[in-house]
Amino acid sequence: MTTDYENKLDTRIYRTREEMGAAAAEKFAKEVNKLLGTKAEINVIFAAAPSQNEFLQSLKYENLDWQRINAFHMDEYIGLAADAPQGFGNFLKERLFSQFNFKSVNYLNGNADDIESECTRYASLLAKYPVDVVCMGIGENGHLAFNDPPVADFEDPKIVKVVVLDEVCRQQQVNDGCFAALNEVPKQALTLTIPALLSAGYINCVVPGPTKAQAVAHTLNSEISTENPATILRTHPKAVLFLDQDSSRLLRSDK
């Protein structure tokens, strides 16, 4: 089901998370195969979050030439144990990067001795391999990657930066079952900036679940501002928002 809101963001609503994930994977595969028809290889940035599980799981049903895809991820905690399952690189390695034979997988290192140098290193990689596709979600506070409202900048001059996570963002990690308590969630992270993410030719945005309903409503209906960072998606020429019944409930007359 597709609903054309006046904001012009292509918004597609599905009955279940599984149907949403399958549709998002199918659309991703279509866009990737179209790109691979004109380019020898492409560059894709992936989000790591439970909201992406159904999408990631459905990718195994798609016919893709993974050997022509360079993979990146969009954020990483600073100071988390290198083998912690909550680490975003570890999350994606388990669910995606180890499942397919990518041309390359490029990890952000939140335990680098020099974090600013790590930002520079990863930014240089992204400059060398300009992003074609971004697969993302939206946070409960409307964040994209770890660009929370206090630090989001639609004209950020950086590609990768260090951020302090706001409490709503950190509490989301507890709500998602990633951490047992708020005090376990790291307070700092590395993140790709909003301009870096929006530089992609195509954005696949997957946002299920009841805790995301308010953020989705703001994304589609509130003023475009860093108070709700995801509103900037309405300015992108080729972004698609995939929702389930729970995350879309504030958009529907039967809510």
pLDDT in tens, the chain (255 residues): 344 444 589 999 999 999 999 999 999 999 999 999 999 999 999 999 999 999 999 999 999 999 999 999 999 999 998 999 889 999 999 999 999 999 999 999 999 999 999 999 999 999 999 999 999 999 999 999 999 999 999 999 999 999 998 888 888 888 888 888 888 888 899 999 999 999 999 999 999 999 999 999 999 999 999 999 999 999 999 999 999 999 999 996 554
Instruction: Give the SS3 label for residue 222.
Output: coil
Residue 1 lies in a domain: no
Question: Is 255 inside a domain boundary?
Answer: no
Residue 235 lies in a domain: yes
Chain centroid to Cα 161, Å, comes to: 16
CA distance 252 to 246: 10
Query: Strand, helix or coil at 125?
Result: helix
Split into its structural domains, the chain has a count of 1
What's the CA gap between 78 and 9, in Å, rounded?
Answer: 33
pLDDT number for residue 3: 42
Residue whose C-alpha is closest to residue 139's, from 24, 241, 229: 229
Full domain range(s) for residue 63: 6-249
Q: Is residue 176 part of a domain?
A: yes
Q: Which two tokens stand for residue 18?
A: 């599984």
* 84 domain-assigned: yes
Query: Residue 49 domain-assigned?
Result: yes
The answer to the question of residue 206 being in a domain is yes
- Beta-carbon neighbour count of residue 30 at 10 Å? 12
Q: What is the pLDDT of residue 2?
A: 40
Looking at residue 177, what is its pLDDT?
83
CB-based contacts of 75: which residues, under 8 Å, 6+ apart?
A: 47, 48, 88, 108, 145, 146, 189, 190, 191, 192
Say if residue 192 is exposed, middle or buried (CB neighbours under 10 Å; 0-12, 13-18, 19+): buried
CATH of the domain at 160: 3.40.50.1360
In a domain, 217, yes or no: yes
